[in-house]
């Protein structure tokens, strides 16, 4: 069967005080659109998969680069749906982000929705330089409660590697499956919730926003802060804020994520394409 392949690359540079397109490339089912923005605001790019979703054998590759002093916000046009795969085939998504000194990048896709017997492997690699600023929000939903859809079997693997000046500052591998429904019931996984999100912020003001982030998340998860170089790091050092959130469904998850993004992304706020 014919499978979907797509790839998109975008680099942004600072020119006359504005973040502007430097290079843009797209192929296959991948499209990148740049809505008209407000002067002085980060360049906002919208990622589109014209295939309407992913299934086993599909491949999607994204690469983005923020030049020195530039700022950009990346979001998807809609939720990325991952459908039932045939046999052991998998959908594969790779994301590569590069931040030059003084740049800012916010990776804010809408929810990835997994359907029953979906198989998805995702790899995210980030290279940061100097005092760049990174915000990543990755929400995942298992089925759609409003449509009475349930996910019993499947496979989801999510691998993150973030480096700053060549040093590994964050690494994680999430794997769930094949018995997804049973795994989600466990208190150490989701406690019966069907929607979850990981929020990662690497910035000089990460620690200063920790208290407010915890207040917004409440009992739905937790947040912590790690100084750049262990205890004793100065107030201007780049630190890491990491939060995990679990909710009963995507609606409840968004009620937390929207104000949290506004808090952690003061330059760009919530992307226009998000339905609020």
Tally of domains within the chain: 1
d(CA 11, CA 22) in angstroms, rounded, equals 5
* Residue indicated by tokens 């990755």: 138
DSSP code of residue 249: S
192-223 in b/e form (b: 16+ CB < 10 A) is ebbbbbbbbbbbebbbebbeebbebbeebbeb
Nearest residue to 13 via CA among 48, 62, 76, 65: 65
Q: Kindly state whether residue 274 falls inside one of the protein's structural domains.
A: no
User: Is 126 part of any domain?
Assistant: yes
List the domain range (segments joined by +) for residue 173: 5-264
Calpha distance 240→153 (Å, rounded)? 34
Sign, CA torsion 243/108/204/40: negative
User: In angstroms, rounded to a whole number, what is the distance separating the alpha carbons of residues 170 and 172?
Assistant: 7
How far, in Å, CA of 222 to CA of 216, rounded?
Answer: 10
**What is the model's pLDDT at position 194?**
94
Q: How far is CA 18 from CA 14, 43, 166, 180, in A?
A: 5, 8, 28, 45
Instruction: Tell me what pLDDT residue 59 has.
Output: 96
User: How far is 270 from 214, CA to CA, in rounded Å?
Assistant: 19
What pLDDT, on a 0 to 100 scale, did the predictor assign at position 241? 97
In a domain, 269, yes or no: no
Does residue 249 sit within a domain? Answer: yes
- In a domain? residue 273: no
- C-alpha distance across the termini of the chain, in Å: 37
β-pairing, 195-203 vs 239-247, is antiparallel
pTM, 2 dp: 0.93
Is 271 part of a structural domain of the chain? no
Maximum alpha-carbon separation in the chain: 57
Please state, in angstroms and rounded to a whole number, the distance separating the CA atoms of residues 245 and 235.
27
pLDDT value of position 232: 44
pLDDT of residue 36: 87
Query: In this predicted structure, what is the pLDDT of residue 228?
Result: 72
- Rounded Cα distance, 143 and 116, in Å: 7
Residue by residue, pLDDT tens for the chain (276 residues) are 568 899 999 999 999 999 999 999 999 999 999 998 888 899 999 999 999 999 999 999 999 999 999 999 999 999 999 999 988 899 999 999 999 999 999 999 999 999 999 999 999 999 999 999 999 999 999 987 666 678 999 999 999 999 999 999 999 999 998 999 999 999 888 899 999 999 999 999 999 999 999 999 999 999 999 987 544 445 556 899 999 999 999 999 999 999 999 999 998 999 999 975
For residue 228, the cross-strand partners are: 230
Distances from the Cα of 33 to the Cαs of 24, 27, 86, 100, 105, in angstroms?
A: 10, 13, 32, 22, 17
Residue 272 within a domain: no
Looking up tokens 């040093």 gives 167
């Amino acid at each position: 069967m014919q499978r979907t392949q797509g790839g998109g690359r975008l680099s942004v540079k600072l020119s006359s005080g504005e973040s502007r397109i430097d290079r843009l490339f797209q192929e296959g089912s991948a499209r990148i659109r740049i809505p008209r923005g407000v002067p002085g605001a980060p360049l906002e790019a919208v990622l589109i998969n014209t295939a309407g979703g992913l299934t086993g054998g599909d491949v999607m590759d994204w690469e983005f680069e923020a030049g020195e002093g530039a700022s950009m916000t990346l979001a998807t046009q809609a939720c990325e749906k991952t459908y039932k795969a045939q046999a052991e085939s998998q959908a594969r998504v790779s994301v590569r982000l590069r931040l030059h000194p003084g740049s800012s990048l916010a990776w804010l896709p809408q929810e990835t929705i997994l359907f029953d017997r979906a198989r998805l492997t995702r790899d995210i690699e980030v290279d940061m330089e100097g005092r760049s600023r990174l915000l990543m929000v990755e929400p995942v939903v298992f089925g759609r409660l409003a449509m009475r859809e349930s996910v019993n079997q499947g496979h989801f693997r999510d691998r993150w590697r973030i480096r700053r000046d060549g040093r590994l500052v964050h690494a994680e591998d999430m794997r769930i499956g094949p018995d997804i429904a049973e795994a989600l019931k466990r208190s150490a996984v989701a406690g019966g919730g069907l929607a979850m999100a990981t929020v990662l912020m690497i910035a000089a003001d990460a620690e200063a926003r920790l208290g407010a982030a915890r207040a917004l998340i409440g009992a739905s998860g937790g947040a912590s802060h790690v100084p750049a170089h262990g205890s004793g790091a100065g107030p201007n050092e780049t630190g890491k804020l990491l939060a995990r959130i679990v909710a009963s469904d995507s609606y409840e998850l968004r009620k937390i994520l929207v104000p949290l993004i506004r808090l952690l992304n003061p330059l760009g706020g919530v992307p226009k394409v998000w339905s609020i």
